[in-house]
Amino acid sequence: MLFGRDLHLESLVLIGLRQFTKLSLIVLAIGLLGACTTGFESNRHNIPLSSLTKARLSQMGSSEKAPMLVRIFKRDSELEVWKKVEKTGKFEHFRTYKICAWSGDLGPKIKEGDRQSPEGFYDVTPGLMNPRSNYFLAFNLGFPNKFDRAHGRTGSNIMVHGDCSSRGCYAMTDEQVGEIYALARETFKGGSKSFQVQVFPFRMTAENLAEFSDSKHMSFWRDIKVGYDHFELTKERPKWEVCNGRYGINRAGGCGASTLNADMKAAYSQMQTADAAAFEVAMANKAQSEKDAAAAAQRKIEAAQAAEERKIAVNQTTKKVTSWFGGLFGAGEQTEGGEDANAPVPPPRQ
């Protein structure tokens, strides 16, 4: 009996070992299958920049560790990456990426849940980088910033991320956000404490401002245009604070005198003068276009009315001609009772 129990126990052990071996092989197969995807599924935040990207940076006199700046234009669905060039200390355009999706309309984000993508100036720090995002990779814009909070605006988790799907964020393809994330990562490794993200409804030209001159957001847009203009002029990261509920761009203490040097002040003044003149021209062109459109619409209405009047006149003429031919051949004009209107009336009965 003892010998039999030992054999039974040995059989159970062998069965257990075989099952364990099968389970181990399954786990190993799953692991190998997962390893055959991209090789970076669990380490995607450390995907290196491509040799072509590094070569492009070197060609423009910059490097992967140089400071960077991002500009977003909603209407064009474009995200620009700028990198600082060592020789000049200025930012130069590196690459433009097409945004897959953004939420809402042109204009700033106001409150949590409005599904609106924000506009303004935001500073992204290492703590806002999200290497484990459900949307491949992401970085938080830091909304609401000081300006947003000063206006009581609310919201959270407003990101630039992958997955090409937006609920208030700026969504890119996974490949695009992978490169942008890597550029930001290397910028931080180079010693930058943050990189600035500038978000605009459109390129702040006189023509675009004139096109949307009736918008309720025009005052806000003219406010952030100051930062747009300063970057266009200086190719340097604009510094900003909140001044009496507005963006104070490149001003001492936020509300003080401009920190631009004399040459830049003169250049900025010339830019403002040229922009004002261009805006007046654009507004005049807009007014003329609206006038022409209204005149074209009126001509269309009048043409439709004339066509209807001609149709009525033709119908009346056709009816008269038909009646004349009917009378000529004795058909006569029929009354409602079906009798000939031209038939002789019989004498009254006695």
Catalytic residues: 161, 169
Contact (CB, 8 A) for 142 and 128: yes
Beta strands in 244-281 (DSSP E): 246-249
Distance in angstroms between the alpha carbons of the first and the last residue of the chain: 144
Residue from 202, 237, 228, 233 nearest 84 by CA: 237
Query: What is the amino acid identity at position 242?
Result: V
Burial state string for 194-224 with b = 16 or more CB within 10 A and e = fewer than 16: bbbbbbbbbebebebbbbeeeeebeebbebb
Calpha distance 75→215 (Å, rounded): 14
CB 100 within 8 A of CB 172: yes
Structure tokens at 184: 């930001």
Sheet holding 68-73, edge to edge: 91-98, 78-84, 68-73, 195-200, 120-124
- How far is CA 200 from each of CA 70, 247, 266, 280, 288, rounded to the nearest angstrom? 11, 14, 25, 22, 27
Other C-beta atoms lying within 10 Å of the C-beta of residue 9: 10
Determine which helix (DSSP H) or strand (DSSP E) holds 30, and give its type and residue range. helix 2-35
